[in-house]
Structure 1
Amino acid sequence: MDVRRAGGRYRGGDPAAGVETRHAFSFGPHYDPDNLRFGALIACNEERLAPGAGFDEHPHSHTELVTWVVEGELTHRDSRGHGTLVRPGDVQRLSAAAGVRHVERNDGAGPLTFVQMWLAPLDPGGDPVYEVVRGIADATPYAVPEAGAMLHVRRLVAGERTALPDAPRLYVHVVRGTVRLGPHELGPGDAVRAADEKGHELSAAGGPAEVLVWELSA
Structure 2
Amino acid sequence: MDVRRADERYQGGDPEAGIESRHAFSFGPHYDPDNLRFGAVIACNEEHLAPGAGFDEHPHSHTEIVTWVVEGELTHRDSTGHESAVRHGDVQRLSSADGMRHVERNDGPDPLTFVQMWLAPLRPGGDPYYEVVHGIADSTPYAVPEAGAMLHVRRLGAGERTAVPDAAYAYVHVVRGDVRLDGEELGAGDAARITDAKGLEAEGVTEAELLVWEMN
TM-score range, shorter chain: over 0.9
Q: Secondary structure at the match of 1:180?
A: strand
Residues 143-167 of structure 1, C-alpha deviation per residue, up to 9 Å, x if partnerless? 0000000000001011100111100
**Cα deviation, residue 62, structure 1:** 0.1
Structure 1 residue aligned with 2:212: 213
Q: Which amino acid aligns with 1:61?
A: S
**In 2: Cα distance, 1:214 partner to 1:186 partner:** 16
How many residues were matched structurally?
216
Contact 2:165 2:197 in 1 (8 A): no
1:1-218 paired onto structure 2 within 5 Å: 1-205=1-205, 207-217=206-216
Q: Which amino acid aligns with 1:111?
A: P
Q: Secondary structure at the match of 1:196?
A: strand
Identity of aligned residues (%): 78
Q: Which amino acid aligns with 1:124?
A: P
> TM-score of the superposition, structure 1-length normalised?
0.99
**Cα deviation, residue 197, structure 1:** 2.4
**In 2: Cα distance, 1:151 partner to 1:39 partner:** 13
Q: Secondary structure at the match of 2:7?
A: helix
Residues 90-117 of structure 1, C-alpha deviation per residue, up to 9 Å, x if partnerless? 0000000000000000000000000000
Q: Secondary structure at the match of 1:16?
A: helix
Q: Which amino acid aligns with 2:110?
A: G
**In 2: Cα distance, 1:135 partner to 1:193 partner:** 26
Q: Secondary structure at the match of 1:168?
A: strand
**Cα deviation, residue 28, structure 1:** 1.1
Deviating runs (4+, > 4 A) in structure 1?
none
Runs of 5+ in structure 2 lacking a partner? Answer: none
**In 1: Cα distance, 2:160 partner to 2:174 partner:** 15
> TM-score of the superposition, structure 2-length normalised?
0.99
**Cα deviation, residue 183, structure 1:** 1.0
Runs of 5+ in structure 1 lacking a partner? Answer: none
Residues 54-96 of structure 1, C-alpha deviation per residue, up to 9 Å, x if partnerless? 0000000000000000000000000000000000000000000
Contact 2:18 2:50 in 1 (8 A): yes
**In 2: Cα distance, 1:166 partner to 1:209 partner:** 21
